[in-house]
Structure 1
Amino acid sequence: MSAYRVASRYAKSLLELAEAKGITEQVREDMNRLVLLNETDAEFATLIKSPIVSSEKKLEVLKSLFKTGSSELTLSFLELVSHKGREAFLPLMAKEFLKQYNVHEGIQSAEVVTTVPLSDKLRAEFSKIVKEISGKDKVELDEKVDKDLIGGFVLKIEDRQLDESLKSKLRALHLDFTQNLYEKKF
């Protein structure tokens, strides 16, 4: 079974259980924490995926990281995943949970990459653009800063990308220029 299918099934079950218990928001926060931890802590990411470290040891680490502020459902979920030996899929399960949560709640997520942090005014403008494109009223922006863009922005909404960065415009200009030179030679 593919990693995506495994993650999707576990995430769906977790979302359904969280809804039934009325703790969807708390579980969402736990899954956000898990994704952030996996993306920012290389040691954690390596440990979770390591086939050498036992499931028991991984569960100990997970419990110590999530014992405060996490729901009982999240802790039970981590135990279940550990007992099944599927800890390597946990980051993917958490991301899939967040996707399914957004679909359930009617939230459109989008990624904005700029050269500087967004001001409140720009954030509102990007939210407005995402609402117009997606047709959804709720927007969740993932803001990233990339100094290599030189200027402008890149907006990603699901499989669509609006690249208005100076870097991409210069790349296109360079490509056009080299193509014209090539055509003149031949």
Structure 2
Amino acid sequence: MLARAACLLARRAEQAQLSKQLVRSFSAAAASQASPKADYKLPTAPLQLSGTSGAIATLAWQVAAKENVLTKVQDELYQLVEVFKAHPEIRRLATDPFVPAAFRMKVVRDMFNTKDVTDVTKRLVEALAEENSLSAIVQVTIAYEELMLAHRKEVHCTVVTAQPLDDAERTVFTKQAQQFVEPGFKLVMKEKVDRKLLGGFVLEFEDRLVDMSKAKKLEEFNNLVTKLENDLK
């Protein structure tokens, strides 16, 4: 996925721990836009995530759900991650501790002034910029994506084969993948061809990999032969 591809490009930036102040900063920004009514209550998130990035993504999801902009916020986060991928100068702005916070905030606000962006995304990114944690947008996007999948009760899977699937094979692999999906969740399957597999298949889920390819079996066989040869020396 887009977010995961960008994650690889921004790996160094993601290693920094986010401060609890960042959560409070975004919470304050969200609260400032909340209804003054005493009964204002955020929806319960569909998934409990750990870590500071998970806490921020959860708060963003709750506010977006309250304001009925869940999908739009997700699309905006994907676009921001794409900016990280395409523009090294933006990654520098996000990760260089010597860039003044005031300058970072000005760039963020100028960028949003020319685009139709939800207040949820604006408040989130401004809070990250203020705390010198813009690089965390990648982690937050990944966490937000997890919440959206749980909200939609979807499990995404990519079936990778050496040759394109026909209808009969597609039915078989759908049944194979369905075994790894909890009851009540919808399987969303994509197809991918990788001739290096030689045969068999690979099922790629968000949190697991089922490798039943001939290439994998050949690798395991070669490793076994190598181990036996070493044991006989």
Q: Taking structure 1 as the reference length, what is the TM-score of the superposition?
A: 0.74
Q: Does 1:89 align with 2:172?
A: no
The 1:154–1:10 alpha-carbon spacing in structure 2 relative to 1, beyond 3 Å, is: same
Compute the RMSD of aligned alpha carbons.
3.5
Q: Mean alpha-carbon deviation: is it higher for 69-78 or for 91-100?
A: 69-78
**Residues in 1 aligned to 2:80 and 2:161: alpha-carbon distance in whole angstroms:** 25
Gaps of 5+ in 1: none
- Of 222, 225, 228, which residue of structure 2 is paired with 1:174? 222
Q: Aligned with 1:88: secondary structure?
A: helix
Q: Which residue of 2 aligns with 1:22?
A: 68
Contact kept in structure 2, 1:11 and 1:93, CA below 8 Å = yes
Contact kept in structure 2, 1:113 and 1:144, CA below 8 Å = yes
Please report how far the alpha carbon of residue 142 of structure 1 lies from its aligned counterpart in structure 2 after TM superposition: 6.9
Which deviations, in whole Å up to 9, do the C-alpha atoms of 1:101-126 show, x marking residues without a partner?
2112212133555567x669577765
Please report how far the alpha carbon of residue 51 of structure 1 lies from its aligned counterpart in structure 2 after TM superposition: 2.1
Q: Which residue of 1 aligns with 2:208?
A: 160
Q: Does 1:52 align with 2:98?
A: yes
The 1:177–1:49 alpha-carbon spacing in structure 2 relative to 1, beyond 3 Å, is: same
The 5 Å alignment of 1:1-186 reads: 2-3=17-18, 5-38=51-84, 40-41=85-86, 43=88, 44-59=90-105, 60=107, 64=111, 67-113=114-160, 128-135=175-182, 136-141=184-189, 149-183=197-231, 185=232
How many residue pairs get aligned? The number is: 183
Gaps of 5+ in 2: 1-15, 19-49
The 1:67–1:165 alpha-carbon spacing in structure 2 relative to 1, beyond 3 Å, is: farther
Q: Taking structure 2 as the reference length, what is the TM-score of the superposition?
A: 0.61
Q: Which AA in structure 1 matches 2:72?
A: Q
Return the structure number with greater helix share: 1
Q: Aligned with 2:155: secondary structure?
A: strand
**Residues in 1 aligned to 2:130 and 2:79: alpha-carbon distance in whole angstroms:** 21
Specify the structure having the higher radius of gyration (Cα). Answer: 2
The 1:36–1:119 alpha-carbon spacing in structure 2 relative to 1, beyond 3 Å, is: farther
Q: Mean alpha-carbon deviation: is it higher for 167-176 or for 46-55?
A: 46-55
Please report how far the alpha carbon of residue 78 of structure 1 lies from its aligned counterpart in structure 2 after TM superposition: 1.1
**Residues in 2 aligned to 1:21 and 1:7: alpha-carbon distance in whole angstroms:** 21
The 1:64–1:140 alpha-carbon spacing in structure 2 relative to 1, beyond 3 Å, is: farther
**Residues in 1 aligned to 2:186 and 2:161: alpha-carbon distance in whole angstroms:** 21
